[in-house]
Amino acid sequence: MSYSSDIKKELLSYNYTGRHCLAAALAAIININGYVGTRDGQTTIIIHSDNPDLIAKTVDITDDLFCRRISKDKRNNIVIEDQKFISEILKTTGVKDSTDFSVASPIDFYVVSKTCCKRAYIRTAFLCCGSISDPHKHYHIEFVDNDYEHADSLKRLIASFGINMKIVERKNHFVVYCKEAELIVDLLNVMSAHRALLEFENLRVVKGVRNNVNRLVNCETANLNKVISASVRQIKAIEYVAERIGLDHLPDNLKKMAEIRVMYPDASLKELGEKMTPPVGKSGVNHRLNKICEIADKLKGENNYG
């Protein structure tokens, strides 16, 4: 089962207690998975989904809202032709038929005027056309809509919770989406997907810790490589000086520094300084080793010239 399916299973178990939230949920189903139009001179409501659980949920919502049990056909369609019942549904949900072009917004914002109703609409919209990527891979949540006006209205409805999403057209569909982990967490909370939210947050924390550890390891590795590279360069310089003129020709402080560097090739500048008598700071150690490298370079130049 996919991550999206797990969340939808959790959302399908949500039970509405108020008629206003039931109306908002049914409005979302009809707006996204339904059609309200005229057939043979009469208004008809058709609702279809490839998800049988959503159709079953629609039947339950309609029963709770109107105390009337509707049925579905073999193709998983709900077809309502009773004109009086249709009129009651449209009045309750604020859904308009396909011939009404005077509607300012596909979502009747009077039906979703309460915060709980906004949540109900968004929650049901996710059941109808939403999906979320497995957070183990990447962060992405989206609603795929056939109608731009409804997608834009849904985007504005979600924005009322401070969650700003974007719209992009994809294969004749309009996708309301978000890729920011914090906003996805907020949206899961709005939809009351609390179990999924906790799982998402736990994973986000683990990924954050892992990324920090990797950054630290990479930083330590880079620093270690620098230490090793510098040590190899310094020891080669010391060996060259020893071969050409001998370390006894160096000032005492440089000679002692050269001996300790050869003795402790893996030590850091700080560790080398602590082994000197008296101890020397990092800058002092660095200065002395650079001086030895300069002497080696000068000797090489003289040798090449000769």
pLDDT in tens, 67-94: 988 888 778 889 999 999 999 999 999 9
What value does the CA radius of gyration of the chain take, rounded to a whole number of Å? 36
**pLDDT > 80? residue 221:** no
pLDDT band at 98 (very low <50, low <70, confident <90, very high): low
How many angstroms separate the CA atoms of 277 and 264, rounded? Answer: 15
How many angstroms separate the CA atoms of 47 and 33, rounded? Answer: 6
Over the stretch 126-137, which tens digit does the pLDDT of each residue have?
A: 999 999 998 888
Q: Biggest alpha carbon distance in the chain?
A: 111
Q: Which pTM was predicted?
A: 0.69
47 vs 215: which has the higher pLDDT: 47
Return the residue matching tokens 């560790």.
Answer: 271
**What confidence score (pLDDT) does residue 187 get?**
95
Mean pLDDT, the chain, rounded, equals: 87
Tell me the domains of the chain and their CATH numbers: 3-192 (3.10.28.10), 205-305 (no CATH)
**What confidence score (pLDDT) does residue 101 get?**
46
Phi, then psi, of 51 in degrees rounded to 5: -95, 105
